[in-house]
Structure 1
Amino acid sequence: MAADRQPPHHNTLTCYTDYRCRLPRCVDRYKTWCRDRDRAIAEGTWQPLLDAEPVRQHLLGLHAAGITIHRVATLTGLTYKSVRSFTQHDYGNAAPRRHRVTREVAAKILAINLDEHTPGHVTPIGSQRRFEALVAIGWPTIHTARRAGIHPSNRVTIFKAPTMRASTAQRIAAAYDEMRQQKPARHGVSATCIKRAKKQAAERRWAPPKYWDEVGAIDDPGFEPMYGITRREIVAQDANELMRISGLDRHAAAERLGVTKSYIDHAFREFPQYALEVAA
């Protein structure tokens, strides 16, 4: 049975054509689009899709100035994956880079004024996650730093400073896009270093590039990655919070969470850091 999809937006034709939305304003929008299309076809001016190259070049210029794909998506109201598709392949679905674009989407992206939105400094969260993602596939941070033109001794500050230069973030993003498609062993990284990097990432639950492709939020400081976290650990965290803040015992916490007390007991045994903070 197919999933019941819900309209993602009520400001495009998608909700009407793909999700069968029949809100009056959406029906009117669709009818207006049909009238405009029929008129343009009759006049010989119908051109539903445009060449996406100007959009791509504009995005590359914005990115070079430190305006991330996530920021563009926020400013335009488009999805992260939609914006990314103009400059990158969709690694998760092996889809090619987009070469055509609707007038509406092109207008939204091209309307972003570089002078109004260019930051001198940006949050380092995207750069930190890119370093971590490359470690997860075997790249020690020193190699990423060198590829991004950063002195190896300065790479530690990326994980400590509250902000960083937008130009540095761009160099790290460019290095990430290259290195994620390459095998560390073919670029001078020893088997021992690769194994050590992957072990470090696993211990710290650093998500690989594939995870960030799926969630599409590598530059979003408000996104909390759940990579590597099991349901049992989540239950342990939630039970800990309920017992500390609400004063519930394990039986009551279990009932609130929809699990058995023995499940919580097991969760606390597996993750004692949460059990130690609450009374048994």
Structure 2
Amino acid sequence: MSTAVRREAPHHNTLTCYVRYQCRLPECTERYTQQNQTRRHGQATGSWTTLIDAEPVRQHLLQLQAAGITLYRVAALAGMNYTSVRIYLHHGYNNCEPRRRRITPEVAARILAINVEEATPSKVDATGLQRRLQALAAIGWPKEHVARHAGLAPRHISTLSRRPTVLASTADLVNTAYEELRHRSTRRNGVTKLVANRTRNRAKANRWPPPKYWDRFPGAIDDPHFTPEYLVPQTEILAADARWLIDTAGMTRTQVAERLGKDRTYIDRVLGPVETKAAA
């Protein structure tokens, strides 16, 4: 697995893309420069705000989650990116960054201002619901059985897989069914061996991660910006890394090969002959 940047930065509205993903888009470079200028000016004038303990924010986020409010919903209400909120509860994906224990007063105030009554939505992003249905399919649960367990019409749950948003109440029903069924045997709960195997094969063909995969990335199952790399061949991952470095960082293929620790001929092979003619 590559140790370099694995994919494009999840967002370009904070310093994360510049610092962690080495993004050098003009607007991101300008944002980084302005931040440094603001910091130096604040330090010189004594107006620079120091960080404060993030524990009250973490506890507030846990309370919001307990009330059924996802971190993605919190991020939208706070005008932040999902990962910028998530980092106060969990470490970064793949343990790339520890959980943050300090926070700026301004960001803390935005998160603490969110209350349960105002934050509870009538509709939520459907990503989490769809991924839970897929994860259950990966261990043999057909969506018809999941629907009945959740108290939903089987025909209705099929349409949910194609919708960008769903009712929050519906998402809660599927979330509950997911937590219950993931620990149960399909054979002992009315699913025949033939149907279970057919469901698993379909999930495998579509590269749908099972529950154990999502357990490795807390909160990621509800994050539409998170791209699972379950059953993805290493050549595809390497190709994605290489394309990102070429398109975003402006590297040549020779530079990409050096960055990823691979031979130039191997980089050309995973990217393909057509791209070889177009890129240095």
TM-score category by the smaller chain? 0.5 to 0.7
CA distance in 1: counterparts of 2:273 and 2:140, whole angstroms: 34
| Structure 2 residue 241 is matched with structure 1 residue 238 | yes
Residues paired across the two proteins, number = 195
**Partners in 2 of 1:242 and 1:58 — Cα distance?**
38
Equivalent residue for 2:177, pick from 175, 178, 181: 175
In the TM superposition, residue 255 of structure 1 has moved relative to its aligned partner by: 3.5
Please name the residue that 1:218 is paired with. 221
| 8 A contact 1:148–1:171 mirrored in 2 | yes
Assess, with a 3 A threshold, how the Cα gap between structure 1 residues 215 and 59 changes in structure 2: closer, same or farther. closer
CA distance in 2, matches of 1:220, 1:145: 23
* 1:86-133: CA deviation from partner (whole Å, max 9, x where unpaired): xxxxxxxxxxxxxxxxxxxxxxx9985222111111000010110011
Cα distance, 1:279 vs structure 2: 4.0
CA distance in 2, matches of 1:154, 1:276: 46
- Amino acid paired to 2:212: K
Q: 1:169 to 1:245 in 2, by over 3 A?
A: closer
C-alpha change, 1:132 and 1:277, in structure 2 (3 Å) is farther
2:139–2:200 Cα contact (<8 Å) kept: yes
1:206 to 202, 208, 212: 208
Between the aligned partners of 1:78 and 1:245, the Cα distance in structure 2 is 24
Deviation at 1:187, TM superposition (A): 0.8
- Assess if the C-alpha contact under 8 Å between 1:250 and 1:264 holds in 2: yes
If the length of structure 2 is used for normalisation, what is the TM-score? 0.56
Q: 2:192 aligns with which of 190, 193, 197?
A: 190
Larger Cα-atom Rg? 1
Partner secondary structure for residue 141 of structure 2: coil
2:151 is the alignment partner of 1:152 = no
Q: Which residue of 1 aligns with 2:272?
A: 275
Q: Which has the higher contact order (CA 8 A, sep 6+)?
A: 2
Equivalence map 1:21-32=2 (5 Å): none
The question of whether the paired residues in 1 share the 8 Å contact of 2:71 and 2:86 is answered with: no
In structure 2, C-alpha distance between the alignment counterparts of 1:253 and 1:77, rounded to whole Å: 31
Q: What are the within-5 Å matches in structure 2 for residues 35-114 of structure 1?
A: 60=66, 62-63=67-68, 67-68=69-70, 71=73, 79-80=88-89, 113-114=115-116
Normalised TM-score (structure 1)? 0.56
In structure 2, the gaps of 5 or more residues are: 1-49, 54-58, 79-84, 92-110
Q: Write the distance in 1 (CA, Å) between the matches of 2:247 and 2:71.
A: 40
1:223 shift after superposition = 1.9
The percent of aligned pairs where both chains have the same amino acid is 41
Q: Which runs of 5+ in 1 are unaligned?
A: 1-24, 30-51, 83-108, 269-273
Asked whether the 8 Å contact 2:126–2:166 carries over to 1, the reply is yes
2: CA distance, partners of 1:56 / 1:239: 38
Bigger shift: residues 212-221 or 174-183? 212-221
- The residue aligned with 2:143 is 141
Can you list the C-alpha shifts for 1:193-218, whole angstroms capped at 9, x where unaligned?
A: 21122222222221111121120121
Query: What are the Cα deviations for residues 60-107 of structure 1, in whole angstroms up to 9, with x where unaligned?
Result: 5x22xxx2366569978775569xxxxxxxxxxxxxxxxxxxxxxxxx
Task: Report the Cα distance in structure 2 between the residues aligned to 1:80 and 1:157, rounded to whole angstroms.
Answer: 33
Mapped contact 2:253–2:267 kept (Cα < 8 A): yes
Match of 1:261 in 2: 264
165-174 vs 197-206, which deviates more? 197-206
> Structure 2: which amino acid aligns with 1:257?
L
Aligned alpha-carbon RMSD (Å): 3.9
